[in-house]
Every structure is written in structure tokens, then in C-alpha cells.
Amino acid sequence: DAGVIQSPRHEVTEMGQEVTLRCKPISGHDYLFWYRQTMMRGLELLIYFNNNVPIDDSGMPEDRFSAKMPNASFSTLKIQPSEPRDSAVYFCASSLAVKPYEQYFGPGTRLTVT
């Protein structure tokens, strides 16, 4: 299996621009998680989906952030408008329903907002 695929791997954008991060989970996995990692705040859970339905989005920082999962093989995390404080590494992870806590992480997208 190819593992969790994220794109782009690096993104540099200017403040105010829209940013879209993409994730393809492992085929057959039922859960999909979006995390943000920074030096100051560590690893934060933003949102997670079960069978394409958002279960918990309480970690989404504010209305500028939105996430969708239109089908079992694709999810997006969008930031509009982006701000410098959004600079971080964003990880997508997926897991099976029988072992939801054994998560497989993608390589991450390093976002820099200038």
C-alpha cells in the first residue's frame, strides 16, 4: 500500500490567500484525521471523520478553517484567508474502524504564510 498521501508537501503563500491541503487515506480505512503541529502548541487534532462524516471539529481554530471529505478516498483542509500564525506542518492520518487509535500518518504539508 502507498500509505497516506498528502499534497503539496510544501506550500508558501502570502497572507490573505486561500490555501487547500489534500489528503488521500489508505484504501479501506474508515477514519480520517487532520492534525496541526507547531513548536509552540505541539500536535493538535483539528477534525476527524468517520465514513466521510465529520465527527468532531472542535479543534478547528476558527471559521477560516474548513474541512471536507467528499468520498472515502479524498479529503481537503482549506484555510481562507490564510494568516502568518497558520504556518505549521499539517498532518493527515487514517485508521481502521476496528483499530481507530492505530493511526497511519502521512508525511505532512509544511505551510508557510508570509
Partner 1 sequence: GDSVTQMEGPVTLSEEAFLTINCTYTATGYPSLFWYVQYPGEGLQLLLKATKADDKGSNKGFEATYRKETTSFHLEKGSVQVSDSAVYFCARTGRRALTFGSGTRLQVQP
Give the footprint of partner 1 on this chain (CB under 8 A). 4, 31, 33, 42-43, 45, 48, 56, 58-59, 91, 93, 100-108
Q: If you search the block for the grid coordinates 506542518, which residue do you land on?
A: 89
Q: 70 vs 101, which CB is nearer to partner 1?
A: 101
Compute the least distance from the CB of residue 106 to partner 1, in Å.
Answer: 5
Compute the least distance from the CB of residue 32 to partner 1, in Å.
Answer: 11
- Closest by CA to 26, choosing from 3, 49, 8, is 3
Rounded Cα distance, 30 and 7, in Å: 20
Q: 5 vs 72, which CB is nearer to partner 1?
A: 5
Rounded Cα distance, 36 and 8, in Å: 15
Compute the least distance from the CB of residue 105 to partner 1, in Å.
Answer: 3
Q: If you search the block for the grid coordinates 504564510, which residue do you land on?
A: 113
Q: 3 vs 16, which CB is nearer to partner 1?
A: 3
**φ/ψ of residue 102, rounded to 5:** -95, 85
